[in-house]
Structure formats: C-alpha cells, structure tokens
Amino acid sequence: MSADIDVKAELKARAAEVEAYLAGCLRGRDIPERLLASMEYSLQAGGKRLRPALVLSFARLFGETVERVMPFAAALELIHTYSLIHDDLPAMDDDDLRRGKPSNHKQFDEATAILAGDGLLTDAFGLMFSCPQDMSAQRVLSAAQTVALAAGSSGMVGGQALDMEYTARPGVRLDELRSMHAMKTGALITASCVAGAHLAGALAPELDRARRYGENLGAAFQIADDILDVVGDTKTLGKPVGSDERQGKTTYPSLLGLDKSRELARERAKSAVEALAGLEHIEAVFLRALARYIVERVN
C-alpha cells in the first residue's frame, strides 16, 4: 500500500495548503511596513514546509482536522523561518544566499532581519493560541509547551550555539555531533510530531510513537542533508555544494565517510517507520513513506 503514495506530490500539495494560510496570517494587524515586508519575504521563500506537514499529519492521524490545527501548524513554519534568518546573520553563519535568493539581511538590513526573526518567533506563539475556541485549552497548552521547550535554549537555540562552537573547533566527536543536531534540527521536528498528536488529544503511547518517529526522522533528515552537501547539486540545494567542508564543519560524511553515513540514515529512517508500525490510517502510510523518501534522495 505504501508504495502507492507519491510522497513528493503529496508533500507539495500539503505545502501549497500551508502556503495559502501563511500568505494571509500576518495581514490585518498593525505591523510596520518594512518589518512586515521582511517577515513575509522569508516566510514566502518556499521550502518543503516539513514541520507544518508533520503537525497536520499527526493531528489527522489521531483524529483532528487539518482546518482546525492549521494556525498551529503554520506557527511551526514561522519558528523555522525565524531560525533561518538569524542563522544567516553576519555574526552567525554569515550567509548571503538562502534558497537561491539574497538572505534577509542582504535584501533588507541587519536590524530589520533581527527584528523580523524576533517578530516571527513571537507571532508564532500568538498563532498557536488562535486555534478554534472549542478546542481543548489543555491540548493547545500541552502542544505549545512542547514547541517552546524544543525551540528554546535547551533545544534549537542551544543547538545553534553548539554548532557555532563546534565549527570553530577541530576534533568534534560523533556523540557531540549527534546531540548538537538532535537539539538544532531534531527537537523542532520531533516537537512538530508530538504537538500534532497533543492537539488531537493523543494519550501517552501515541505521544511516544510520535516522539520516536520525530527523533528518528529528524536524525535521518540531518544525515541526508550532510550527504547532499557533498554529493548534491547547487540547483537542487539552492546553495553552493561543499559549503560545510569550506566552513570546516564536522559532518556525518567527514566523520564516517559517505557509505557509512548512508547506512546510518537508512537505519534511522527504518526506526521512524517502525515507530508507526501497525497503524493503518492513511496518514500513517504517508508518514512511513515520507521517512523512506528522505533517505531515498541520497542513495
């Protein structure tokens, strides 16, 4: 059955739904013109919209509707977008390009980029709380708490701090690399899955499935990303190939080689698939296919 799903087309369709919502979600409020333009510039720069897709998929899997959780799902993309804007800043990774276009501070200016990031992060929480009134406040609160912890200083922000520390330091070990990535990218991906499940009122065993799926998907995703930076092409990546090596970053391929990295990515994808074993809902089929697809790209 799972072989029948065209994951790429399905992801694209879901991204389109999310983007339709994102296009309007900052309108009708008193946001200063240039700040709004800067926020929307990055928010509408494309991408897979993976995090919202995971929120929506896990919420449906456990009984909620796409429409009702869309504001919350969109919030995850605001958080992801803010993190990209701040990561690109001159004081951080100093990247001039993002998805083939000038990065936010290049298109606008540094102050505007910092504020656009701050605005997107804060507004994300505003969006999370704007789910329908009849949704259980406790569910929304649990989901938002999950996201806040994953995005904060012991999650995504902490991971970026470690990434900068490690980039400047030789001899980074595999366990350090793994836990840095678990914080920097894994935590928010996992939180997207768990938050979606919370919104649908999932109980402990289901929340645990969501967590295990997310952690393994996030790891597979990161390893695949490292591999693509070596073997991909500039057009697909939207950034120059080999940028990790030029920046002296420790990666899975630099520590383990390409073959071993591919094997590890496959293992993590397999664990993600297994976390949802036995579930026959169409969303479980999609999520399992998604995990396989992520590592197929690098084989």
Taking CB under 8 A as the rule, does residue 111 contact a copy of itself? yes
Taking CB under 8 A as the rule, does residue 37 contact a copy of itself? no
Taking CB under 8 A as the rule, does residue 30 contact a copy of itself? yes
Alpha carbon distance 214, 211 (integer Å): 5
Alpha carbon distance 49, 16 (integer Å): 9
Instruction: Give the sign of the dihedral formed by CA 92, CA 153, CA 27, CA 31.
Output: negative
Q: How far is the CB of 266 from a copy of itself (least distance, A)?
A: 28
Taking CB under 8 A as the rule, does residue 54 contact a copy of itself? no
Taking CB under 8 A as the rule, does residue 96 contact a copy of itself? no
Alpha carbon distance 287, 212 (integer Å): 12
Which region among 47-55, 57-65, 145-153, 213-221 touches a copy of itself (by CB under 8 A)?
Answer: 145-153
Each residue of 121-138: b (16+ CB within 10 Å) or e? bebbbebbeebeeebeee
Taking CB under 8 A as the rule, does residue 44 contact a copy of itself? no
CB neighbourhood size of 20 (10 A): 11
Alpha carbon distance 269, 292 (integer Å): 6
User: From the list 77, 123, 225, 226, which residue makes contact with a copy of itself (rule: CB under 8 A)?
Assistant: 123
Q: How far is the CB of 108 from a copy of itself (least distance, A)?
A: 11
Check if the beta carbon of residue 125 is closer than 8 Å to that of residue 144: yes
Per-residue binding string, a copy of itself, 151-190, x by CB under 8 A, is xxxx-xxx-xxx-xx-----------------x-------
Check if the beta carbon of residue 146 is closer than 8 Å to that of residue 118: no
Taking CB under 8 A as the rule, does residue 247 contact a copy of itself? no
Judged by CB, which is closer to a copy of itself: 144, or 290?
Answer: 144
Q: Which of 298, 196, 206, 272 shows the shortest CA–CA distance to 2?
A: 272
The footprint of a copy of itself on this chain (CB under 8 A) covers a number of residues equal to 53
Site of interaction with a copy of itself (CB under 8 A): 26, 29-32, 34-36, 39, 82, 86, 89, 91-92, 109-112, 114-115, 117-123, 125-126, 129-130, 136-138, 140-141, 144-145, 148-149, 151-154, 156-158, 160-162, 164-165, 183
